[in-house]
Amino acid sequence: MGFKSDPIYKTWYPFVLTDEAMTHAMIFFLATVLDQSYHKVVSTDWRTHADQATRLISERLSSEKLATADASIAAVIVLATAEFIAGNLDAFDVHMDGVARMVELRGGLTALESYPFLKRKIRQVDVTRAVLRVSQPRFPLVESRRLRPPLNTFYSDPEPTCGQGIFQLTQQHSILCNLIEVFGDMYELITAITSSQGEGNPHIDPIFFLDSTSSILHRLTTSFAPIGYGKDYVHLYECCRLGTLLFTRGISEQSVWPPQTRIALFDHVKESLRPHIKEECAWMNLKLWTLFMAGVTATGLPQRTWFTAQAANITLKLDIRNWEDIRVLLKQFWWLPKLQEWLCKDFWEDIVNLREVLSAL
């Protein structure tokens, strides 16, 4: 029953069953996922399905009605996603140019209000492209959303690099593709928070805010690492998932987790941060960001000491010596400075104090 209530089941699959272009696009997408997941070379025959989908969509361009139909737009979105997973960013850009043109002919995203799942998919893929290309999204992320007054003082000062490190890791490591939709929603939420500007105060719809954070938290707590990957990659996945979970919990202003819940979560975080994780720079940066999210969450608890010691060790390896260097690193991941900066700066002071003690021994 839960499967049938899934929007993919209700919206995507009917297209697959009734539209030839979407059928070919989905076969190519699934073959690409298998290729990237199991590191096998998929037969070039699978590429013919992408070519077939592209040919069918091109034939529809002579008819604006067919070219801008839901199934046509959905097929191009699936092709774009497959090329992204495969690392073919030039092909990904070409497909996104096509989506932008199709949506424009349709009358813009507002013309898709009756198709929220399709609209959401377009935004997710558009946001992914914007982050990877360090450019502005083609489609507006912020409409008319109002945020309750107590939060206004926290959410401003947009950080254009926010999430870039996460999306780059996702593009490089197929294991993280399971989280790409969550990351897209997170980027949209942060962009809405930081770029909403009214006549004096930032504003965002509280229903949108609460629904978004609740949805993200729910999916992060139920999206476990896929099977078939080595231990290093599972730790990478869990590091991304748990760090994002801690960040979301920190900005959501939801009820405080019971001590036993936080202790169990800290145990999972510790396991994901064990030395199994590779000591490549990008992975170490992610590990340090997750340690900051965990250290902030553990304020006032004995578990903070462990996170402080691990962070001190990594900052020494990365030769990080001051707060500004830390801030540059943190804002490559999920980051809301007006809310997090003072908490992370306090954690950094603990790290500095521990480093001074260790150097005196």
pLDDT tens figures, 261-304: 677 788 888 888 876 556 678 888 999 999 999 999 888 888 89
pLDDT tens figures, 118-137: 887 787 777 666 655 656 66
Length of the chain, please? 361
Residues 88-111: b if buried by 16+ CB within 10 A, e if exposed: eeebbbebbebbeebbeebeebee
Of 88, 17, 35, 28, which Cα lies nearest the Cα of 53?
28
CB contact at 8 A, 226 and 241: no
Q: Give the pLDDT score at 233.
A: 84
Task: Compute CA distances 281 → 169, 222, 288, 291, whole Å.
Answer: 11, 28, 10, 15
pLDDT tens figures, 173-190: 877 877 887 888 888 888
pLDDT tens figures, 314-352: 999 888 989 999 999 998 899 888 778 888 999 999 999
pLDDT averaged over every residue in the chain: 77
pLDDT tens figures, 26-66: 999 888 877 766 655 556 677 899 999 999 988 887 777 77
Higher-scoring residue by pLDDT: 162, 225: 225
Q: Give the pLDDT score at 71.
A: 87
Q: Give the pLDDT score at 182.
A: 84
Our CA angle for 37, 219, 213, nearest 5°, is 135
Give the distance from CA 318 to its chain's centroid.
25
Of 202, 197, 175, 171, which Cα lies nearest the Cα of 184?
171
Query: Max alpha carbon distance in the chain (Å)?
Result: 76
Q: Give the pLDDT score at 112.
A: 78
Q: Give the pLDDT score at 345.
A: 93
Tokens of 140: 């507006």
- Give 20's pLDDT tier (boundaries 50, 70, 90): very high
Kindly report whether the global pTM for this prediction surpasses the value 0.85: no
